[in-house]
């Protein structure tokens, strides 16, 4: 596996600083959070940076770009009164996801992360899954021959691996895969070891985080025990990225990220069984699972 981190940890940093620090901390890859449009939420917004520059910065630092993480969701209902408005909104999420895939192609990034999200109101689960899956399938089809896979993350009404697998079964597309958030699964009552086994070969990227008294903290120093999930990935020989999320973007009062990301890198390597020499022993551009 390849220990990586998300740029939600350092929203005010430009990409050149992110790449330099990631190398110094020992990470093998990074995940770029994107809002796709002219957003100033993240200084290193990849949608506002020349893709060739991004590739060059990461290559120089010996890093893989593991994932382009969006917040796109596909659960907009399509029946109540203002039908045209709702249909336009559901169409927009498909168009935005296709735009994210295009950005992934330009960046040579193998994964675009999205969400299915929630079953709304009293809607039957089967109907909601069909609606959400139909939209996701359109985006997955757009990924054909692109080098990009659409990774749907467990959240909302699909918080466990079995629920996410149900959605992936409905999408039924080779370009649709799983992004597994171990903390979300734990919060939903799932043993992450079971979740890793359920998703099997469809799991292409995993993520971890930790919290202490409601504030993000270094991995292994808070109340979320992600270690069994990481160990389960290592035991399966998982070759994808395990992304540490330090959510300073959403918690701006949280401590600065430098020391936290450095400690978390060491913890991830230790949990994976790779030890401190892992960065030197693993090629940064190893094939994705």
Low-confidence ranges of the chain (pLDDT < 50): 81-86, 276-289
Does some domain include residue 181? yes
pLDDT digits (tens, 9 = 90+) for 247-270: 999 999 999 999 999 999 999 999
Global pTM? 0.91
Half-sphere exposure of 78 (CA within 13 A, CB side): 16
pLDDT of residue 284: 37
pLDDT of residue 89: 61
Does some domain include residue 211? yes
Domain count, the chain: 1
Does some domain include residue 287? no
CB 195 within 8 A of CB 185: yes
pLDDT of residue 88: 58
CATH of the domain at 29: 3.20.20.150
Residue with tokens 């498909």: 94
pLDDT of residue 79: 52
Domain that holds residue 114: 2-281
Does some domain include residue 127? yes
Measured at the CA of 181, the angle between CA 146 and CA 61, to 5 degrees, comes to 60
Does some domain include residue 30? yes
CB 148 within 8 A of CB 101: yes
pLDDT of residue 38: 66
Does some domain include residue 288? no
Does some domain include residue 286? no
| Tokens at 281, concatenated | 């022993």
């Amino acid at each position: 596996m390849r220990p990586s981190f998300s740029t939600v940890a350092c929203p005010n940093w430009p990409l050149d600083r992110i790449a330099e620090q990631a190398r110094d901390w020992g990470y093998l890859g990074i995940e770029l959070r994107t809002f796709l449009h002219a957003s100033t939420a993240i200084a290193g917004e990849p949608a506002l940076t020349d893709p060739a520059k991004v590739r060059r910065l990461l290559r120089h630092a010996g890093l893989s770009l593991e994932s382009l993480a969006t917040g796109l969701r596909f659960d907009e209902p399509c029946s109540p009164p203002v039908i045209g408005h709702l249909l336009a909104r559901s169409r927009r999420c498909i168009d935005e996801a296709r735009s994210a895939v295009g950005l992934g192609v330009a960046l040579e990034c193998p994964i675009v992360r999205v969400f299915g999200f929630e079953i709304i109101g009293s809607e039957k689960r089967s109907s909601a899954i069909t609606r959400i899956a139909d939209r996701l399938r359109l985006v997955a089809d757009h990924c054909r021959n692109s080098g990009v896979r659409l990774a749907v993350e467990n959240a909302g009404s699909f918080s466990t691996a079995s629920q996410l697998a149900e959605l992936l079964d409905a999408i039924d597309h080779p370009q649709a895969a799983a992004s597994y958030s171990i903390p979300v699964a734990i919060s939903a009552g799932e043993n992450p070891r079971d979740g890793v086994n359920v998703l099997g070969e469809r799991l292409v990227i995993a993520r971890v985080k930790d919290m202490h008294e409601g504030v993000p903290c270094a991995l292994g120093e808070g109340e979320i025990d992600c270690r069994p999930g990481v160990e389960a990935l290592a035991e399966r020989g998982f070759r994808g990225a395990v992304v540490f999320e330090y959510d300073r973007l959403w918690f701006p009062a949280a401590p600065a990220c430098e020391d936290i990301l450095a400690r978390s890198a060491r913890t991830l390597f230790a949990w994976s069984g790779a030890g401190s020499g892992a960065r030197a022993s693993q090629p940064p551009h190893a094939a994705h699972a």
